[in-house]
Each structure stands twice: as structure tokens, then as C-alpha cells.
């Protein structure tokens, strides 16, 4: 499935991502600037914070309580479309997904 990360400077990184892979793992594997994934997806650092494009919000699932709390400590501004990319697993409905990487 194709995923595109839009960077704060206007550049884009697109990649084919395997079903079942987290978007944080995919970003790290494709060296997406600004998505660090320092904790490796253990939900303890908020360094994989992204903004989900509004057209895709309904398909990425809901924010669970612990993710909600972690988003409060993210380095970039928290917005309604904020998610930790380690908590979004790729599935067929996300083919073409667009994520915006926040400026830190």
C-alpha cells in the first residue's frame, strides 16, 4: 500500500508499505525526516507524532487513552488530526494515505 509523508519544507516521501506494518516502522525504514520512533513503538516517547490528512481520519482508527496522554507531550503542537504513527497499522483501506510531519 502506498503512503505519503508530507514534510514541513514541502517535500514528500512516498513508499510502498506492507500490510500489518506500523506507520512509524514504515517511516523509519524509509528515513522520513521528523519521524524518529525513539522508543521503537512502545508508546513511550511521542517522537513519531504525525498529522493525519483530514480525508483519512476516519480510516485510521480512534485514539486510545494512553496514546491520547502521550500526544499531550509531543514536541509539536497537538491538533485534532494528531496521531502517534506507531499506533496506526497499515491495512488495505489505507492505500494512498497521506500524513503530514509536524515541524519541530
Nearest Cα to 75, choosing from 84, 66, 64, 65?
84
**pLDDT tens digits along 5-36:** 999 999 999 999 999 999 999 999 999 999 99
Segment holding 6, helix H or strand E = strand 2-6
Total Cβ atoms within 10 A of residue 95: 14
Return the exposure string of 39-67: e unless at least 16 CB atoms fall within 10 Å of the residue's CB, then b: bebebebbbbbbbbbeebeeebeebeeeb
pLDDT of residue 7: 98
| Mean pLDDT, residues 51-60 taken together | 97
Confidence label for 63 from pLDDT (cuts 50, 70 and 90): very high
- What does the alpha-carbon distance between residue 81 and residue 2 come to, in Å, rounded to a whole number? 20
* pLDDT exceeds cutoff 90 at 59: yes
The pTM of this model reads 0.95
- What does the alpha-carbon distance between residue 11 and residue 42 come to, in Å, rounded to a whole number? 28
Residue 37 maps to which CATH number?
A: 3.10.20.30
Average pLDDT taken over every residue of the chain = 97
pLDDT of residue 104: 80
DSSP symbol at 83 = E
* pLDDT exceeds cutoff 90 at 1: yes
- What does the alpha-carbon distance between residue 17 and residue 23 come to, in Å, rounded to a whole number? 8
Q: Which domain holds residue 54?
A: 2-100
Task: Give me the number of domains the chain comprises.
Answer: 1
| Mean pLDDT, residues 38-59 taken together | 95
Amino acid at each position: 500500500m502506498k503512503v505519503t509523508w508530507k514534510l514541513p519544507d514541502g517535500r514528500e516521501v512516498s513508499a510502498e508499505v506492507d500490510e500489518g506494518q506500523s506507520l512509524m516502522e514504515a517511516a523509519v525504514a524509509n528515513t522520513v525526516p521528523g519521524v524518529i520512533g525513539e522508543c521503537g513503538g512502545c508508546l513511550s516517547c511521542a517522537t513519531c507524532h504525525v498529522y493525519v490528512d483530514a480525508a483519512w481520519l476516519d480510516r485510521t482508527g480512534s485514539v486510545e487513552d494512553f496514546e491520547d496522554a502521550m500526544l499531550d507531550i509531543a514536541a509539536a503542537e497537538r491538533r485534532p488530526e494528531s496521531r502517534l504513527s506507531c499506533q496506526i497499522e497499515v491495512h488495505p483501506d489505507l492505500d494512498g494515505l497521506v500524513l503530514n510531519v509536524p515541524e519541530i
